[in-house]
Each structure stands twice: as structure tokens, then as C-alpha cells.
Amino acid sequence: MNKEELEKVEQLIEQKNSEELKGLLSGLHPADIAELCNELDAEEARFIYLLLDNETAADVLIEMDEDARKDFLEILPSETIAKRFVDYMDSDDAVDIIREMDEDKQEEVLSHIEDIEQAGDIVDLLKYDEDTAGGLMGTEMVIVNENWSMPECLKEMRIQAEDMDEIYYVYVVDDDERLRGVFPLKKMITSPSVSKVKHVMKKDPISVHVDTPIDEVVQLIEKYDLVAVPVVDSIGRLVGRITVDDVMDEVREQAERDYQLASGLSQDVETDDSVFRQTTARLPWLLIGMIGGIGNSMILGNFDSTFAAHPEMALYIPLIGGTGGNVGTQSSALVVQGLANSSLDAHNTWKQIVKESVVAVINATIISMLVYIYNFIRFGATATVSYSVSVSLFAVVMFASIFGTLVPMTLEKLKIDPAIATGPFISITNDIIGMMLYMGITVLLS
């Protein structure tokens, strides 16, 4: 909605004009209503929710921004949350909502869920780590037994489908509830009615374990072009499924986290977060950068005599620092991307370093030669700056390339998010090392 439409909604809420506001909302998608609620305060959003039917209200709540949703849920009684929202959600969406609450409120909401089976599913899902397949999966599936005949299978599918919004796959299990295959809907039409499910199913379907990390689930769905993937426990029993829309939400959130880490933000923040939260997210790396800058000044302060003899050397301090930071960031960004999409394995560290070294030699040679030509024309062939800057640039580019490759791969082995290596950490380190190399080489060549 634009500003004028938002003001109209706020005016209708203030006037408590339910009929006109209800007519306005009736033509909107739940995602659009959620976007509207994000712009309103909790009490205004509450007025809108009272005008929606239960299923639409549940869909809108799922689509809301996390912070706005949290503020909204805080003003609602636990019973209302359970009966007005959770009862009309898929289990994975309900878990996402309840997981945001403190333990006391979680217990209160769960106690008000009338469907004991649904409440039990939510309790079971809350036990899983939210960054694993178990924490992301839902339990709503159409499941058939491998020993059923076609008429029996069709009858059971109709019963199960009544309580579901979407059917992606029909999963086949044995008598012990272990996943055996996927039942193609086409076979239901083309196969004789006397056939058993196990004779027409696709065996050995692609599945994930409950403890599989989310990033591996994402890669699997992307690789095999799946719209959903079944989740099994340690003995192969089918316990849930993950749909592509759930995965896309995780991909977006992970991309946002990685981008913020690479930008030097120590925690997840939004533009509408408080000044205090934004400050605490930005300040740590700024302080580290300040310490790095002081370290640089201390390094340069030890070479007063060198600058006195060759004052033109000071002109190239930004070039050395900037080039090292850029090269390091480029190398680390490529490695982080490769690790994320599995095109690069952390066990192939030395192979990647050798490859990066070859690229670095080419880049360093070209950059150093261009700078040498410039200094040759400006200062002459015998000037110290003509060759010391070029040699220093070559050394800095080589170091930054190798360091930018080694750090994220090491972090990956240590189970630390390698995206940290694409941000200020690389730039600050390369800046300090670059200055040390620059001044050291200058002294040696003077």
C-alpha cells in the first residue's frame, strides 16, 4: 500500500469502520495484509485481525515480519493464539510461531490446543534444532502403505487430503512406518485396480535425516529440482516433510545473515530496529577497525626516517592498503560462495590455495608492472619508490589472495560461519600485514 492508502486504513481503524475496512481487506492476499500489519502498531493490527476469518488470519500471521509479529502476539492471550491461529496452521508454521515465545507462554499456548495429536506433533518438532531438517519439517503428508491395493489406496488418500491445503507427493511406507517409496499419481490412473502400491511406486526416494543441516537440505532440493523432501529418523521411519517454500525462506534468511556478516554487522538487524540494537550490531567491528588503524599508525610511526628520506612513499599507503583489502575480499568471497553451493570442499584447501596462487601471480604481475611504468615515468628508474612500491604490491596481492582463501576454509573446518571472512576481518588484517610488507620491503631496498 502507498502512503495515502495506509493513512486511509489507519483512519478507518480510528473510526472503527469495520464494514468498509473489511471490504478493503477482502480483495487482498494474506501476504499483502501482513505487509499492511507490519506498518501498523499492535493494537491497530489486532483490529484488522478481528475482521479476518480464522484461516486467513493464520496465513497473515505467518507472513508478518518477525519483530512485528512478536509485538502483536505479546498483547494476545495464549488461548486466542492457540484457537485463533495455531489450530489453523500447518505444524511447521505453528512451530515457527511458538518457538519465538518464552517457555511459559509456549506451555500456555500448547495447553489450549484442543487437537491433542496436533499439540503432540508441535511438542515433538520443538525438540529439534531449528537449523536442522527436523526443526524445519512439517508433519502434514499423504501416506499410503505399500501393501494396499489401488482402491484402498485411493480411499485413504481422499480421507487424508481433506485436511491438507497442498499435496506435493504421496509417500509410501511399510508396516513399520519406514519410508519405502513415492507413489506417482499418474500410476493411480493407469495401473490396474488389482495392483498393490509396492508394485507401482518409485523406490528409494531422496530423503534427509532429522539431523541434516538446513544448508544440505537446500542443496539437495536444488540439485534434484524437488518441491518437497521427506524426512526420516535414525531407523528410516517417515516423520515429516520439508517443502520448497520453507526452504526458500531459510535461503533468504541465510543470505541476509551472510551479507550482514560480510558487511561487518555482528548480529541480525533491520532498518526499523532501535538505535541501541543497530549500534550494538555495528560497534564491535568498528572498534576492531579502530584498533587496526591504531596498529597501522604504530607501524608507520617506526619508519619516520624512511619517510624523511623518501617522502613520496607516503603517497602509496592508500594504494597498498586498498589493494590488499580488495584482493582478500575477492578471494574469500569466491571461497565462501563455493562452500555454500558445495562446488568447493573444505578438505581441498591446498588445491584451492595453489589455484588461487596462480591467479594471484597473474594479477600481481599486471598490477605491479602498471604501477612501475607510472612511477618510472614520474620518478625515474633509479628512484626507490619506482621498484619498492611494485615489489610491495606483488607481495601484498600474493599474501591477500592466499590469506583470503585459507581463512574461510579454515573457519568451515572449525564449523564457524565462513561469511565472517568476507568482511572487515580480511580487510583489517590485510591492511596491517600490507603496511608491514610495504615498509619492510622499502627499508630492504633503500
Q: Pick the most confident of 247-261, 368-382, 415-429.
A: 368-382
Q: Do 92 and 246 meet the contact criterion of CB atoms below 8 Å apart?
A: yes
Is a pLDDT exceeding 70 seen at residue 421?
A: no
**Quick one: pLDDT at residue 181?**
93
pLDDT in tens, 384-404: 888 889 999 999 999 999 998
CATH topology of domain 142-243: CBS-domain (3.10.580)
Question: pLDDT (tens digit, 9 = 90+) per residue, 4-29?
Answer: 888 888 888 888 888 888 888 888 89
pLDDT band at residue 430, thresholds of 50, 70 and 90? confident
Q: What integer pLDDT is reported at residue 189 of this predicted model?
A: 72
pLDDT of residue 194: 63
Reference 50, options 39, 32, 37; nearest CA is: 37
Q: How much is the pLDDT for 229? A: 94
d(CA 64, CA 353): 44
Segment 252-269 mean pLDDT = 72
* Mean pLDDT, rounded, for 313-318: 88
CB under 8 Å to 169, separation ≥6 — which residues? Answer: 141, 142, 182, 183, 227, 228, 230, 241
Sheet holding 208-209, edge to edge: 208-209, 228-232, 238-243
Q: What is the pLDDT of residues 431-443, one digit of tens each?
A: 888 889 988 888 8
Amino acid in the structure at residue 293: G
Spatial distance between the Cα atoms of 5 and 384, rounded to a whole number of angstroms: 68
pLDDT of residue 272: 66
- pLDDT in the model for residue 182: 93
Confidence of residue 247 (pLDDT cuts 50, 70, 90): confident
Report the distance separating Cα 330 and Cα 267, nearest Å.
Answer: 23
Beta bridge partners of 209: 232
Judge whether residue 173 has pLDDT over 90. Answer: yes
Quote the percentage of the chain above a pLDDT of 70: 96
Range 132-141 average pLDDT: 91
User: What's the rounded mean pLDDT across residues 204-212?
Assistant: 94
Domain 275-445 has CATH 2.60.120.10: no
Query: Which residues face 377 on adjacent strands?
Result: none
Q: Calculate mean pLDDT across residues 404-428.
A: 80
pLDDT category at 285 given cuts 50, 70, 90 is confident
Percentage of residues in the chain having pLDDT higher than 90: 27
Beta pairing partners, 143: 171
pLDDT value for 151: 85
Mean pLDDT of the chain: 86
Nearest Cα neighbor of 95 from 122, 57, 77 is 122
In this prediction, residue 373 carries a pLDDT of 93
Most confident of 280-289, 355-364, 401-410: 355-364
User: Where is pLDDT greater, at 188 or 47?
Assistant: 47
d(C-alpha 229, C-alpha 242), whole Å: 5
Work out the average pLDDT over 97-124: 90
Q: Give the lowest-confidence range in 241-245, 374-378, 414-418.
A: 414-418
Is CATH 1.25.60.10 correct for 3-126?
yes
Predicted local distance difference test score (pLDDT) of residue 192: 66
Domain spans of the chain?
Answer: 3-126, 142-243, 275-445
The answer, yes or no, to whether residue 40 has pLDDT greater than 90, is no
pLDDT in tens, 321-339: 888 888 988 888 888 888 8
Q: Which three cell numbers stand for residue 193?
A: 485396480
Band of pLDDT at residue 238, cut at 50, 70 and 90: very high
